[in-house]
Structure 1
Amino acid sequence: MTQARWQQLTEWPLAIVAAIFLATYAWEVIADLQGPEAMAAEVIIWTTWGVFLLDYFVNLSLARERWRWFYTHLFDLAIVVLPMLRPLRLLRLVTILAVLQKTAGRAFRGRVSIYVAGAASLLVFTAALAVLDSERHAPGATITTFGDALWWAFVTITTVGYGDFTPVTETGRFIAVGLMVGGIAMLGVVTATLASWIVERVALTEDHARTATRGQIRELSAQIEQLQEMLEKRSA
């Protein structure tokens, strides 16, 4: 089996696994699970990690130039390794974003808005989970409920930053930086898409104008030829 074939076959299954992870992680964080329920959630979360670990090594083994693939896919390695640290587990959801991006790309610009809306919603939701997970039990924390975390994520991704809720842990601040960068990146995607659409429309209008002009020139040439023929007949 080729690497391209493997990636094609596992694209949606990995997205489903990431969605299962998100649902389990959300349940664990929002409900603040303890005891057997927390253990069950952890089993599911670590199982999904195992699936991503397997996918990484299969891709590495199927790559034609393994060393080149390794150092050009360090981010994929980070998705597998860093989620061993609890607050960074949400990196696995990059898989869902990748599927959304490919779907939007295949559907051209008409569906980019769907991708941006989906990615923004996912980013806000997951950032709220991550910051609540890291902040809730910290001394002096202001973000102690999921509602607080969701409000904080909204005002942070829009770079409004009211300051009513702020992270007090290093992990929480790291999540805040990532959320702000993500918000700016999405704004860039929207701006670039809009600019591309405007350029395309202008180019299309110019093409139509050129086509119309060529048609008019051909009509005028035909009329001139007819007049010349009429004059030649009369002079004869």
Structure 2
Amino acid sequence: MTHIYLNHILGLDTPSYANSGKMEILRTRSISKGDSSNEAELSFTNHMGTHIDAPYHFGSEGKALDEYPANFWVCESPYIIEYNAAPAERLGLETLLPFLKNIPDPTDVLILKTDFEKYRKDNLEYYCFQNPAIEPEVGIWLRKNKNLKFFGFDYISLSSRSHRAMGRESHQAFLCAKVNDIEIKGDSILLIEDMKLSELKQPVTKLIISPLLFEKADGAPVTVIAEV
């Protein structure tokens, strides 16, 4: 049994959606400078790096991360779909349904490995602005037909700046009770964005998801530990 991280470590070079935020690390105390301890202050938006979106992110009546019980964050039946997505590709049911139909019924977390992570260091223009985008009907179908708690993937956001108008609806389709005032059947599926999947070479038998919890958290950086 081996455990690996499926999250990126936060750092000064952490990218953000549409390059709209920066990570700051201020070393406020340093032993090398005569202080009794090392200490730092962090400044960043709560949707930077590998992070999780809660229903409250796109719906004022939705649950925040701190409202879920501890056992919610343990997943016993992960399932991985591999599909090499092109920059700015729209991923709808026409493309994904053949994969989605094969998801085993016990699955509680679905991971989409697109290989888009390769642009994270070498081409931020692609990674932050030209990432693939999931169409709303995918979330609606998953909520109606499967019993997932999470959907995670290896690019910056569920939505893309290339398809910005669709982004809000796509998030609502996974997270909220309604999309454009139309009620959606099934529980919310929380989103794990900007995952680190490049080192994932074998099936995952268990997933532990540990978000940074704060009051009324609409989203937060998350540590993801996979048992492989």
Q: Which has the higher contact order (CA 8 A, sep 6+)?
A: 2
TM-score normalised per structure 1: 0.26
Between structure 1 and structure 2, the one with the greater Rg is 1
Q: Identify the structure with the greater helix proportion.
A: 1
